[in-house]
Structure 1
Amino acid sequence: MHNDIHNYLTKYRDQHLNELTEWLSIPSVSSLSEHKEDTLRGAEWIADSLKKIGMENIKLHPTKGHPVVYADWIHAENKPTVLIYGHYDVQPVDPLHLWETAPFEPTIRDNKIFARGATDDKGQFFMHLKAIEALMNIHGELPVNVKFLIEGEEEIGSVNLPAFVEENQELLASDVILISDTGMQEKGRPAICYGLRGLAGVQIDVKGAKGDLHSGLYGGGVQNALHALVQLLESFRDDNGVIQVKRFYDKVEALSDEEKAAYNALNFSEDGLKEELTVEELVGEEGYTYIERTWVRPTLEINGMWGGFQGEGIKTVLPNEAHAKITCRLVPNQDPDEIVELLTKHVNAHTPPGVTVTVTPFDKGAPYVTPYSHPAIQAAGRSYEKVYGVPTQFIRGGGSIPIVATFDQILQKPIVLMGFGLPGENFHAPNEHFHLENFDQGLRVIANYLSELPQTFSK
Structure 2
Amino acid sequence: MSLNAVLDRIDEDLDSAVARLLDLLRIPSVSTDPAFAGDCDTAADWLVAQLQDLGFDAQKRPTPGHPMVVAHGDQDGPRILFYGHYDVQPVDPIDLWDRDPFDPQLEDTAKGKVIRGRGASDDKGQLMTFVEACRAWKAVNGTLPARITFFFEGEEESGSPSLVPFMQENADELRADIALICDTGLFADRTPAIVTMLRGLLGEQITITGPSKDLHSGMYGGAAMNPIRVLSGILADLHDDTGRVTVPGFYDGVPDLPEAVADQWDGLNFDHGTFLGDVGLSDPAGEQGRTALEMLWSRPTAEVNGIWGGYTGDGFKTVLPSKASAKISFRLVGTQDPHAIRDNFRAFVQERLPTDCSVEFHGHGASPASQMSIDAPAFEQARKALSDEWGVEAAYVGCGGSIPIAGYFKDILDMDAMLIGFGRDDDAIHSPNEKYDLECFHKGIRSWARILEALS
TM-score when scaled to structure 1? 0.80
Q: What does residue 403 of structure 1 align with?
A: 405
For residue 400 of structure 1, give the secondary structure of its aligned residue in structure 2: coil
How many angstroms does 1:154 deviate by?
Answer: 4.6
Matches within 5 A, 1:388-399: 388-399=390-401
Q: Secondary structure at the match of 1:199?
A: strand
Q: How many residues align?
A: 440
| 1:9 alignment counterpart | 14
Indicate if the aligned counterparts of 2:29 and 2:86 stay in contact, CA closer than 8 A.
Answer: no
Partner SS, residue 162 of structure 1:
helix
Deviates more, 1:418-427 or 1:190-199: 418-427
Q: Which residue of 1 aligns with 2:70?
A: 71
Alpha carbons of structure 1 residues 42 and 344: separation in structure 2 relative to 1, 3 Å: farther
Report the counterpart of residue 3 of structure 2 in structure 1: none
Q: In structure 2, do the counterparts of structure 1 residues 21 and 68 end up closer, same or farther at CA, with 3 Å as the change threshold? A: closer
How far residue 157 of structure 1 moved from its aligned partner, in angstroms, is 6.2
How far off its partner does 1:236 sit? Answer: 1.8
Q: How does 1:416-431 map to 2 (within 5 A)?
A: 416-423=418-425, 425=427
1:370 aligns with 2:367: no
Alpha-carbon offset, residue 290 of structure 1: 0.5
> What's 1:80 paired with?
78
2: CA distance, partners of 1:41 / 1:351: 52
Q: Against the structure 1 CA distance between its residues 165 and 102, is the aligned structure 2 distance closer, same or farther, given a 3 Å change threshold?
A: farther
Cα 1:300–1:61 shift into 2, 3 Å: farther
1:45-56 matched pairs, under 5 angstroms: 45-55=42-52, 56=57
Match 1:19 to one of 20, 23, 28: 23
Match of 1:58? 59
Unaligned segments of structure 1, at least 5 residues: 30-34
1:297 deviation in Å?
1.0
Counterparts of 1:22 and 1:213, CA distance in 2: 57
Q: Distance in 2 between matches of 1:310 and 1:89?
A: 39
Determine the C-alpha separation between the residues in 2 that align with 1:319 and 1:433.
47
- Cα distance in 2 for partners of 1:369, 1:103 equals 40
Deviation (angstroms), 1:100: 4.7
Deviation of 1:322 (Å): 4.5
Letter in 2 for 1:345: A
Between stretches 202-211 and 387-396, larger displacement belongs to 202-211
Cα deviation per residue 1:64-118 (whole Å; 9 max; x = unaligned)? xx44513113232x23332112245567889x69x95389937866555677765
Q: Please name the residue that 2:245 is paired with.
A: 243
Q: Give 1:299 deviation, angstroms.
A: 1.0
Within a 5 Å distance, the mapping from 1:183-202 to structure 2 comes to 183-202=185-204
| Cα distance, 1:370–1:356 mapped onto 2, change above 3 Å | same
TM-superposed deviation, 1:164: 3.1
Q: Is the 8 A contact 1:196 1:400 kept in 2?
A: yes
| Partner residue in 2 for 1:32 | none
- Note the aligned Cα RMSD (angstroms): 3.7
Equivalent pair of 1:86/1:151 in contact (CA under 8 Å): yes
Any stretches of 5+ residues in structure 2 without a counterpart?
1-5
Quickly say closer, same or farther: Cα 1:2–1:126, change in 2 above 3 A: closer
Per-residue Cα deviation, 1:34-65 (whole angstroms, up to 9, x for no partner): x3554x456424412212313444233425xx
Q: Residues 277, 57 of structure 1: CA spacing in aligned structure 2 closer, same or farther, 3 A cutoff?
A: same
User: Paired residue for 2:31?
Assistant: 28
Conserved? CA contact 2:333–2:369, under 8 Å = yes
| 1:340 counterpart letter in structure 2 | R
Structure 2 match to 1:325: 327
Q: CA deviation at 1:17?
A: 5.0
Distance 1:293 1:103 in 2: 38
CA contact under 8 A between 1:365 and 1:403: conserved in structure 2?
no
Tell me the distance in 1 between the aligned counterparts of 2:352 and 2:118.
38
Q: 1:209/1:100 Cα in 2 relative to 1: closer, same or farther (>3 Å)?
A: farther
Tell whether the 8 Å contact from 2:200 to 2:367 is kept in structure 1 after alignment: yes
> CA offsets, 1:93-150, max 9 Å, x none?
89x69x9538993786655567776544444334334444555567665443332323
Pick the structure with greater CA Rg. Answer: 2
Q: Is the 1:201–1:361 contact (alpha carbons within 8 Å) kept by the matching residues of 2?
A: yes
Counterpart amino acid of residue 83 in structure 2: Y
State which drifts further: 181-190 or 129-138: 129-138
Structure 1 residue aligned with 2:270: 268
Distance 1:20 1:143, change over 3 A: same
Cα distance, 1:248 vs structure 2: 0.4
SS at match of 2:51: coil
Secondary structure in 2 matching 1:394: strand
1:288–1:173 Cα change, 3 Å: same
Q: 1:448 to 1:254 in 2, by over 3 A?
A: closer
The answer to whether the 8 Å contact 1:330/1:366 transfers is yes
Contact 2:202 2:329 in 1 (8 A): yes
